[in-house]
Amino acid sequence: MDGELKGILKAFSAEVEENLIATGIVSIDGKLGEYEAHTARGRTYNVERSASIFAMIVNILDKTLIEVYEGKEDVGEMLVTTKKSFYIFRAIGKGAYYHGATFTGVTDMERVRKVMKKYEPLFAERL
């Protein structure tokens, strides 16, 4: 991976820092490209494990969409919410890589989406 990805993730993090736990680039096969971790509620945040689980979720969703739409339907964005956190993932380019971000508490997800869209071409150029 290009070392510039870390710098771009740091810039993204600075722009959406409110309640950010971590952000990273993950390939569809579960390999971690790069990540920027912040706080993890007083515990160690295992980004490698999160990357592999995320890839499984995207693959399952992709297979589900193929069944529902009777053909290939690309995953563009995925938002998962829990009582304590938000997880948002966006496809980069044709979907071989995804940019993910995890937040706690109240977060303006529309603003996060806009910032993710802004950074997508920067990631795509380096992948």
Of 11 and 43, which is predicted with more confidence?
11
In order of 21, 77, 86, 87, the CA distances from 83 in angstroms are 15, 20, 9, 12
- What is the model's pTM? 0.79
- In whole angstroms, what is the distance from residue 118 CA to residue 121 CA? 7
pLDDT winner (highest mean) among 39-43, 83-87, 120-124:
120-124
pLDDT of residue 35: 64
Q: Is the pLDDT of residue 127 over 70?
A: yes
Domain segments of the chain: what residues?
Answer: 4-126
CATH number for region 4-126: 3.30.450.30
pLDDT of residue 31: 67
Beta-strand (E) ranges in the chain?
Answer: 20-27, 32-37, 77-81, 85-92, 97-104
pLDDT of residue 120: 93
Is there a contact between 64 and 75 (Cβ–Cβ < 8 Å)?
Answer: no
Burial class (CB in 10 A: 0-12, 13-18, 19+), 101: buried
Residue 17 is which amino acid? E
